[in-house]
Amino acid sequence: MQLTIDPTIPYLVPPDRPLAIILVGCGGTGSHIAQSIARLCHHRADTERPIAVSFVDGDIVESRNIGRQLFSEKDRGLNKAQTLAARFGSVFGVPITAYPEMATRDRMQQLCAAHEETFRIVVGAVDTAEGRRTMADALAARWCHLWLDAGNANDNGQVVAGTVTTVNALRGCLALGGVCAALPAPSLVYPGLLVPEPMPAADCAAAMADDTQSLMINQAMAAVVAQYLYQLVVQRRLTRFATTIDLATLTMRSLPITAAQLSATVQIPVAQLHATKTPRKGRSA
């Protein structure tokens, strides 16, 4: 028998390009991601190009958030983004800009435009289709370069890193050979992320209170996101583009960046992933 192994093809971040990280959502998973981003910036503080960091969230801290999210009793009534930016910025000695508002299309455009020369990474930690639609629009408009999204249910969830929002944009992404030029956006891997869901009978805080939702799921999701960010920032490469975790069974699975896996995920022929785009012919004089 002959064993055929589909080789992993890395997605690379330009090694000399400065980075900007925009965290959208500073609640259950987002508050833990915020801490990891600040730690990562502190870890890279000695490099020539500091990471530009922004936290975006319009919510305020409520009593029910304390314990599940990284807030204390004294934070009640304060804006989440501002609170985390001040706390982690001070603890780790890194500048963090807070925007105490919900992310809108216009705000995302402004945030990305403020860091025009950087490689812009938008990290999504929201629980609504509307919020994810905003990030999908930002990626589609090329205001940001990569959208890293985290979403979870009671004891399981997924993290996806993507750069393009249409299947057509993936054609030829492996034509360079040895390098992957594009990855499917979270909304391509999980189309349901952009579909509004019926109003749940109980929110996350209530689910946590009655032990329906795992107390550890948000922290686990944030750890996976943090590892993706570490690879993007420090190693400047990804070899996986999606990860699922299940705390009930204590299992994790990641999808490698291979021709076969990309093809199976978004239903595009492998040949089209490798195809070289034909240049348009110019008009004759």
CA atoms within 13 A of residue 195's CA, in its CB half-sphere: 6
Lowest mean pLDDT among 26-30, 42-46, 65-69, 118-122: 42-46
Q: Is the pLDDT of residue 208 over 60?
A: no
d(CA 168, CA 183): 12
Confidence label for 48 from pLDDT (cuts 50, 70 and 90): low
Q: Is residue 84 part of a domain?
A: yes
pLDDT of 201: 46
Average pLDDT, the chain: 91
Confidence label for 197 from pLDDT (cuts 50, 70 and 90): confident
Q: Is the pLDDT of residue 285 over 50?
A: no
pLDDT of 284: 40
| Residues 225-245: tens digit of each pLDDT | 999 999 999 999 999 999 999
DSSP 3-state percent helix, strand, coil across the chain (nearest 5): 35, 20, 45
For residue 164, which phi and psi values (nearest 5 degrees)? -135, 150
Confidence label for 62 from pLDDT (cuts 50, 70 and 90): very high
Q: Is the pLDDT of residue 180 over 50?
A: yes
Q: Is the pLDDT of residue 202 over 60?
A: no
Tally of domains within the chain: 1
Tokens of 202: 């109980």
Range of the domain at 169: 11-274
Q: Is residue 2 part of a domain?
A: no
Q: Is the pLDDT of residue 224 over 60?
A: yes
Query: Domain with 62 in it: what CATH number?
Result: 3.40.50.720
| Percent of the chain residues past pLDDT 70, beyond the cut | 91
In this structure, the number of other CB atoms found within 10 A of the CB of residue 167 comes to: 13
Indicate the SS3 state at residue 254: strand
Lowest mean pLDDT among 4-13, 53-62, 105-114, 151-160: 4-13
Question: Quick one: average pLDDT of 77-92?
Answer: 98
With a CB cutoff of 8 Å and minimum separation 6, the contacts of 170 are 164, 182, 184, 262, 266, 268, 272, 273
Q: Is the pTM of this model over 0.85?
A: yes
pLDDT of 18: 94
Question: Quick one: average pLDDT of 71-98?
Answer: 97
